[in-house]
Structure 1
Amino acid sequence: MHNNNHFVHWFRASSPYIHSHRNKTFVVCFGGEAVLADDFEHHVHDFALLNSLGIRLVLVHGIRPQIDLRLAAKQETPRFHKQLRITDACALQCVKEAAGMVRVEIEALLSLGVANSPMAGAKLKVASGNFVIAKPLGVIDGIDYGHTGEVRRVDSEAIHQQLDQDNVVLISPIGYSPSGEVFNLSSEQVATSVAIALKAEKLIFLTEQDCLHPKDGTAMQQMTTLEAMALLENYPEFPEMLSNPLKAAIHACQSGILRVHLINRNQNGALLLELFTRDGIGTLISLQPYEDIRSAQLNDLAGILELIKPLEQQGILAKRSREKIEMEIADYIVIERDGLIIGCVALHPNQEGRFGALACLAVHPDYQRSARANRLLDYAYRKAKQLNLTKLFVLSTQTIQWFIERGFLLSDINSLPEPIKAFYNPQRNSKVLCKELDE
């Protein structure tokens, strides 16, 4: 029964994402290592599921290990300069062979429809083609890169035509010139260029490891582009298998892609966990913070009411009507996380008397014990100082100690300014706390 309840809770919680992702274009990039892995079919099942949920899906695959295997078979040594392969005639032949083989393998897996398997009844249609026009990288630092190229243009119209027919588009890291030449490309650059050309809602990189901070090994759940650039600058030893997609993510965000995800592909169901849960399991890159603290607006009203209603029912917060909150919405501060109001506090100022009343401090149960209440309080302090307030009051029944630990002192009802005292409810018997603000 517990497992059933867990599934029902997860399924209901995922429904907003199912709705919001439908008819959106996602570009997913994964390396040749993923294709060689024993569990790659799990990713294919997840690709099929995304397609069945109405997501317009473009897959870009890498082929680096497959090329290296073919070069080794020819007793040739792979050559690189600045993390880019030098593609001579022999290497180009290996590139063509690897790209063709990997593409066929992926198409075969996407075509599975065996009964009693996740692909049963999927009936996926896969489209590949010469969607990427490329040009030679040329000679850099005296190094001739040969047939290594860079993206010149993406035929976005042709890709959109395939997506409009509910096809999954599969793109290899190969580009073609108008004169018929073939160029070996970086899969990260191809995926980024395709996402930008399509104006995709998301660009997703399936990486070989978690994105951990080099200093302390903590997971980095989200970064702005500025934070990502600082990370790469301050830690030049950051792993190549993460730095390349991170650089691509920065470029994508700066070019109009709202969100780029880096997800460790080694966790089963990683793609689903990232896309259909609020906190995900990967690293989100965006121009602006994913979680924002700000002044409330009228369209936050429903979120505030939903957040405080359980606390009102428990008697932790005094009941407030929808109309009262709406009238005082300018006094509220909220924390918004991916469209959900997860925290709020109200600062009701009296600028004439230079005092304020804090009220309605609440944090969503899933996000407690993570210092968000402190963030709300700090924001309220800053706002109070901007309004030249010198004293804050709080009426509390069950969070008295929390406020005392943050510098508030117990007082009595007689210390309350008349405008606050007028709303004091003797039946609640709230404790009065006060804090002086530094001038």
Structure 2
Amino acid sequence: MTSVFNFTFVPWFRSVAPYIHKFRNQTFVVGIAGEAIAAGKLQSLAQDLAMIQSMGVKIVLVHGFRPQVNEQLKAKGHTPKYSHGIRITDEVALDCAQEAAGQLRYEIEAAFSQGLPNTPMADSTVRVISGNFITARPVGIVDGIDFQHSGLVRKVDIAGITRTLDMGAMVLLSPFGFSPTGEAFNLSMEEVATSVATALQADKLIFLTEVPGIRTDPTQPASEDNPIDTELPLAAAEKLLKALPAANQPTDTAFYLQHCVKACKAGVERSHIIPFSVDGAILLEVYVHDGIGTMVVDEKLESLREATEEDVGGILQLIEPFERDGTLVKRSRTEIERDAGNYTIIEHDGVIFACAALYPYPEAKTAEMAALTVSPDVQGQGDGERVLKRVEQRAKAAGLDSIFVLTTRTMHWFIKRGFVQVDPEWLPEARKRKYNWDRKSQVLVKKLG
């Protein structure tokens, strides 16, 4: 049993290490829906966030309290009122919101204060600091509806939050803001988290919600043929938003997606929607390659694109050293000119830093990804993964079920990204005829979800 555990644990831990290095000293803004706390997920979420913080990540935690406020209103005989997807906060609702926020702050601070032996919190020291970091303004009257004490973020105290994070503390924010005159306004968790992530230019904005993510076809129910889209380029997310009906409640597809898009457009490179119902969801999203929910990513589309004939010289210059040392099979200029449209490249200021080609075999519902190359100048910065993701998207769009690679030296890189080794006999007949048995390339396949 021990040997089996060691066999699985060691490769897993090694596969996680690059992400630990990558995220150290980065800033994550995490928005937790009040529904997650109501569902009893607070203890496990606190353990996971404490673990992430212990690996050097700076965390701003924003909690929601929608169901808790509604419960308080119900106890007082009042009905929650909403319009335009925003709560109408009268005096009673404001009192309920303040009560719910106080109670939740207490529960969250208590969860991070646990240090029992034989638990994930043992020997952890997580200082949680709250404060009046948000200046708010009233929503006002919209379409004749007075939102009273409901507000919007006017300003984020960036310096105060940054100083607190630099002290090694976790910042905890309730969805409240105060005007310069001291008036309290009820805000939404989603808007606070998005505004804070934007103001801090955080590395990630993560929403832990009842929504599992965005499906490939959001208009159809969940199924094997309609899985969660684990990565949405910003342009695709914007296009999808325009096609979706306006969101008035959290379970509407556009509700969290609109906040992710807003954050990415304002400089937050990655925004995530993940389900709190899955144990360890935030760990799975952050430290596992394909994640568990949907990530909206600003992938700088001007630099990640399909190649043209004008790019052939740059592609040749990039791959030539790797052909010379035997990492890649040599390709002639004529061959690359002929297949230029098959290549995906990352280009910046006229220089090509990464490329890969996709050669479909439609009869076998698969395609070969060839010549995946990243310049030594930028290796370790994620360009290889960006190209791989785009190639996967191109293959999916072509209706293919898998992609495969042939490699002699980079097997482990592909295995860490979901590829599995198969026998060369697996290859489509047309590709098998061209297989160089002397080179003994390993064949690895990845199924496209």
TM-score (norm 1): 0.72
State yes or no: 1:243 paired with 2:257.
no
Q: Following TM superposition, by how much is the alpha carbon of 1:226 offset from its aligned partner in structure 2, in angstroms?
A: 2.9
In the other structure, the counterpart of 1:164 is 166
Distance 2:438 2:121 in 1: 62
Distance 1:169 1:343 in 2: 40
**What letter is aligned with 2:24?**
R
| Contact 1:343 1:372 (8 Å CA) reproduced | no
Distance 2:162 2:154 in 1: 18
In the other structure, the counterpart of 1:44 is 46
| Contact 1:253 1:287 (8 Å CA) reproduced | yes
Distance 1:7 1:300 in 2: 37
With over 3 angstroms needed to count, the CA separation of the structure-2 counterparts of 1:270 and 1:90, relative to structure 1, is: same
| Contact 1:262 1:282 (8 Å CA) reproduced | yes
Distance 1:8 1:23 in 2: 25
In the other structure, the counterpart of 2:130 is 128
1:12-411 pair list within 5 angstroms: 12-211=14-213, 212=215, 213-215=218-220, 217=222, 218=226, 219-236=228-245, 240-241=250-251, 242-288=253-299, 321-322=324-325, 344-345=356-357, 361=370, 372=392, 375=395, 402=428, 404=430
Distance 1:129 1:191 in 2: 15
Distance 2:178 2:393 in 1: 55
Distance 2:97 2:256 in 1: 21
Decide which of 4, 25, 36 is 1:2's aligned counterpart.
4
Structure of greater Rg:
1
TM-score (norm 2): 0.71
Q: Give the share of equivalent positions with the same residue, in percent.
A: 37
With over 3 angstroms needed to count, the CA separation of the structure-2 counterparts of 1:48 and 1:215, relative to structure 1, is: same
How many residues are matched? Answer: 364
**What letter is aligned with 1:153?**
K
Q: Following TM superposition, by how much is the alpha carbon of 1:322 offset from its aligned partner in structure 2, in angstroms?
A: 1.8
With over 3 angstroms needed to count, the CA separation of the structure-2 counterparts of 1:426 and 1:62, relative to structure 1, is: closer
| Contact 2:328 2:371 (8 Å CA) reproduced | no
Distance 1:60 1:299 in 2: 48
| Contact 2:28 2:59 (8 Å CA) reproduced | yes
With over 3 angstroms needed to count, the CA separation of the structure-2 counterparts of 1:324 and 1:205, relative to structure 1, is: closer
Q: Which moved more, 1:251-260 or 1:323-332?
A: 323-332
With over 3 angstroms needed to count, the CA separation of the structure-2 counterparts of 1:298 and 1:91, relative to structure 1, is: farther
In the other structure, the counterpart of 2:444 is none
**What letter is aligned with 2:210?**
E
Q: Following TM superposition, by how much is the alpha carbon of 1:216 offset from its aligned partner in structure 2, in angstroms?
A: 5.4
| Contact 1:25 1:57 (8 Å CA) reproduced | yes
SS in structure 1 at match of 2:370: strand
In the other structure, the counterpart of 1:414 is none
Distance 2:7 2:72 in 1: 50
Distance 1:284 1:121 in 2: 32
SS in structure 1 at match of 2:268: coil
| Contact 2:318 2:354 (8 Å CA) reproduced | no
**What letter is aligned with 1:252?**
A
| Contact 2:211 2:273 (8 Å CA) reproduced | no
Distance 2:88 2:394 in 1: 53
Distance 1:79 1:30 in 2: 22
Distance 2:287 2:33 in 1: 23
Distance 2:332 2:184 in 1: 60
C-alpha deviations, 1:394-430, integer Å up to 9, x for none? xxx968973638xx9x89xxxxxxxxxxxxx9978xx
With over 3 angstroms needed to count, the CA separation of the structure-2 counterparts of 1:185 and 1:346, relative to structure 1, is: closer
Distance 1:247 1:63 in 2: 20
- Specify every segment of 5 or more residues in structure 2 that has no aligned partner in the other structure, as ranges: 308-313, 347-352, 360-367, 374-384, 399-422, 440-449
Distance 1:279 1:402 in 2: 26
Distance 2:318 2:49 in 1: 34
SS in structure 2 at match of 1:93: helix
**What letter is aligned with 1:16?**
P
Q: Which runs of 4+ in 1 moved over 3 A?
A: 237-240, 289-302, 323-337, 341-347, 359-364, 370-376, 397-401, 425-428
SS in structure 1 at match of 2:103: helix
With over 3 angstroms needed to count, the CA separation of the structure-2 counterparts of 1:92 and 1:9, relative to structure 1, is: same
C-alpha deviations, 1:196-229, integer Å up to 9, x for none? 1111000000110312332353211111233223
C-alpha deviations, 1:370-415, integer Å up to 9, x for none? 9859859x9xxxxxxxxxxxxxxxxxx968973638xx9x89xxxx
Distance 2:260 2:8 in 1: 34
Distance 2:190 2:235 in 1: 20
RMSD: 4.2
SS in structure 2 at match of 1:240: coil
**What letter is aligned with 2:235?**
L
- Specify every segment of 5 or more residues in structure 1 that has no aligned partner in the other structure, as ranges: 306-319, 348-358, 379-396, 412-424, 429-439
Distance 1:196 1:329 in 2: 46
